[in-house]
Structures are given as C-alpha cells and as structure tokens.
Copies of this chain bind each other. A is one copy, B any other.
Amino acid sequence: MTSNSPLTYDQAGVNYDLIDPLKVTAQRAAAATASHLAGHGFSEVKASRGESAYVVDVGPFYVASIVECLGTKTLVADEMAKLTGKSFFAGIAQDTIAMAVNDLITVGATPLVVQAYWAAGGSDWFGDAQRAQALVAGWKAACDTCQVAWGGGETPALAGIVEDGRIDLAASCTGLINPKERLSVGDKLGAGDAIVLLASSGIHANGLSLARKLAERLPNGYLTEIAPGLTYGEALLAPTALYSPVTEALWKAGIAPHYCANITGHGWRKLLRHPSALTYRIHTVPPKTAVLEFIQQQAGQDDREAYSTLNMGAGFAIFVKAEDAERTAQVARDCGIAAWVAGSVEAGEKQLLIEPLNIRFSEDDLALR
C-alpha cells in the first residue's frame, strides 16, 4: 500500500462551491414557476421544493418526478473492463436507476415509470454489443426489482460533448404518492422520532471522483486487493442498493415514514437535509463496508471528512415514530437489507451529532437551499 498524504474531495475535482450557488439561483427561478400549475387546476406541494423529488397535487393523489445523473462511475467500469475483460454495465445500469428511484421514494412516492438517458460520445459506443446488451439487461433487472415500468428513453450520440468512448447515464422517474397520506416531505418530522439507517452496498455512486483519484495512487490501481479475492475496482462497482422495495414494504406494514433522506453527495450531511431546526443524534454507527474503510484509510481522511462525503455504510435514512423504529428495521431486513435503529430526533439547534465518532455537523455544513 502507499504512504498517504490526505486526499480531499475538492482535490478530486468536484467543487461544490462553484455549483451550489447556481443551484440556489436555479431553485429560486424554479420556485417562481409553480403558479403555472393553477392554470391546469393543480398546485405544487411547496414543501417538496428543495427535497429530492418534486411533488404536484393533482387531486386524487400526488405526482412526484425527478431526473438524476449517475455521475462518473462508468469511468471505473470502463477501466475495469480493460483490466479484466468483463463488462460491468449491468451493475452500472442498476446504479443509474438507483440514483433516481432512491431519491423519488424519499417523498413517499411509489416509482411507476423510469426513462433511460444514455448519451454516448458517439454512435460507436452502441456498436459494442456485449456492453450495450449488459446495459439493457441490467436496466431491465433493476426495473424488475423496483417494480417500475421502463417507459423508454433517449440514446443520443454526442460527439464533441460527451468524450469519445464514454457515456453519460441518467434516469428520470415518475411516481405517485397514493394514498396522499403517504406524502413525506418533512412536515411530520419532529422531536421524538427515531432514525433508522439502511445499509449501503458500497460506495454507491457518490464519491467516485475521489475513489478514482485514489486508484491512481495505488501501485496496483483498481486491481489492489482490499479483501481476499476482492479487488478495489470490483468493490467500487458493487451496484447501488435499491431501496424502493423497503419503502413499499413499509407501507404494506402500515408504517408511514415522517421523512427520508437518500445519503448521496455530501455524505451523512444529507441527514440535515430538512430545513427544520432539529437535532439529530446518532448513537449507533453501522459498519463501514470494506471499500469505504479502504478509501478512508488510503485517502488519509479523518472520520469527519469521510462522513461528510461518503455514505460510510448507510445508504438511506428513514425517520419514523419511535414506536415504529424496530419494526422499520425489521421490514428492511426482510427485504434483504441490513438496518439499524441508529438514533433519534430531538428539539434543539440544527445539527447532526454522531456520538460514537464525536462528530458534529451544523447547518453551515450543508447549504443546499
């Protein structure tokens, strides 16, 4: 292994300081368009502004929609294909759908339709039949897991915009919140709620810029063994967990989450997503997956840095009534996803306290609105 100087997320090439101000400007302009819905007899659910999915009240139920990008995980898949001769695009397809579906379900929606956005650097990308078929097969399999219909999509060839030999993958998703009481945009969130964390399968699809940068520093790169028989590259490419089977099962079990947070970019800071002034106190920290532990160690990150950028073993947070907490975790386990009753919501200033690690994140650490 290498001797490590610390590697930060900014050094890895993603500068949220440049992107976040535009996000805020765009969100304000977007908010000003909500009034158009009245002309069609509908209205927005204002509390969904700034949430992971946008929600419109169409009368008998709510409609939720979203578009989400995979990010740069394909660069790892491309490199690993070169190194191993295997195609990893079935898993990549699942990652892409997970980005959209796991966000959409946070507001209480049942995902119904996924659309594929596959923008290649040139027509040639689609000429590699094995890779293209893996993408198709993986996409369908993820739709099957999430019980969504694959509606269609877009397969443009964008030479000059997307790099030659690369593909920009995204998914849009539309769902219904039905019945309307399933809506979870945070208005029910309050002191006394429990925080249930669902296990991630690995790095998921956030933090890949850092992970790729790290590979460059390893003498064996992606082929470095991080556990017996498991290379760094393979571990990175574990497909993102799909959480919609859990949220659907919760509803069938009579549990309506008060709020949900998909733990993606900004890592555990996403637990601070809701604008309410509340304190989130974590007493139980899930085990890190092997690949996340490896990254933290190799990048020389302290816990604060690691938990502020990576999911560190927890891919999704569900905020429920304290009395539903244990049952919520059990429902997730019954879906094959490890889960922990990890903490509680308290009255107090907006902050996240990860007690076992002595970490505190405050409102200033997450400026998304």
Partner-B contacts on A (CB < 8 A): 13-16, 18-19, 21-23, 25-27, 29-30, 32-34, 36-37, 39-40, 42, 44, 49, 53-54, 56, 58-61, 63, 65-69, 71-72, 74-75, 110, 112-113, 115-117, 119, 122-124, 126-127, 132-133, 136-137, 139-140, 143-144, 147-163, 166-168, 170-172, 174, 176, 209, 212
Contact of A18 among B26, B60, B124, B170 (CB under 8 A): B124
Per DSSP, chain A at the interface is mixed
- Contact across chains for A67 and B115 when beta carbons are under 8 A apart: yes
Q: Which residues of B contact A23 (CB under 8 A)?
A: 155
Given contacts A63-B113, A126-B18, contact A152 B69 (CB under 8 A): no
CB distance B140 to A33 under 8 Å? yes
Given A26-B153, A163-B162, is A144 in contact with B33 using a C-beta cutoff of 8 Å? Answer: yes
Q: Is the CB of A71 within 8 A of B170?
A: no
B172 to A166, Cβ gap below 8 A?
Answer: no
A165 to B314, CA, bound (A): 34
Q: In whole Å, how far is A256's beta carbon from the nearest beta carbon of chain B? A: 17
Cα–Cα, bound, A345→B149 (Å): 33
Given contacts A39-B147, A69-B117, A119-B168, 12 further A-B contacts (CB under 8 A): A15-B123, A22-B126, A25-B136, A30-B152, A60-B60, A63-B113, A66-B172, A67-B172, A68-B154, A74-B161, A163-B163, A174-B174
Offer 12 A-B interface pairs, CB within 8 angstroms, sorted by A: A18-B126, A19-B155, A22-B155, A29-B137, A33-B143, A33-B149, A40-B112, A60-B60, A63-B112, A65-B115, A72-B160, A161-B166
Name A33's contact: one of B69, B148, B163 (CB within 8 Å): B148
User: In the complex, which residues of chain B have a beta carbon less than 8 angstroms from the beta carbon of A116?
Assistant: 26, 30, 67
* Contacting residues, chain B, for A27 (C-beta < 8 A): 152
Bound form: Cα–Cα A132–B40 in Å: 30
Evaluate contact between A112 and B56: CB separation under 8 angstroms: yes
Contact: A160 with B149, CB < 8 Å? Answer: no
**Are B144 and A36 neighbours in the complex by a CB distance under 8 Å?**
yes
Nearest-Cβ distance from residue A241 to partner chain B, whole angstroms: 19
Contact residues in B for A59 (Cβ distance below 8 Å): 60
Q: CB distance B67 to A161 under 8 Å?
A: no
- Please report the C-alpha to C-alpha distance between residue A116 and residue B160 in the assembled complex, in whole angstroms: 21
Q: Which residue of B lies closest to A145 (CB)?
A: B36
CB-based closest 3 A-B pairs: A54-B151, A172-B172, A30-B150
Which residues on the B side are within 8 Å of A67 (C-beta)? Answer: 67, 115-117, 153-154, 170-172
Q: Is the CB of B147 within 8 A of A29?
A: no
Instruction: State the CA gap A366–B112 with chains docked (Å).
Output: 30
| Bound-complex Cα distance A143 to B174 (A) | 19
A232 to chain B, nearest CB (A): 18
Q: How far is the CB of A206 from chain B (nearest CB, A)?
A: 10
Q: How far is the CA of A38 from the CA of B177 in the complex (A)?
A: 16
Selected contact of A147 from candidates B15, B40, B162, CB within 8 Å: B40
Give the distance in Å from the alpha carbon of A40 to the alpha carbon of B252 in the complex: 12
Cβ contact within 8 Å between B65 and A65: yes
Q: Which of A25, A36, A60 has the most CB of B within 10 A?
A: A36
Contacts known (A157-B14, A157-B15, A158-B71); A56 close to B126, Cβ less than 8 A? no
Q: Of B36, B137, B144, B161, which is within 8 A of A149 by CB?
A: B36
A126 / chain B contacts, CB cutoff of 8 Å: 18-19, 21-22
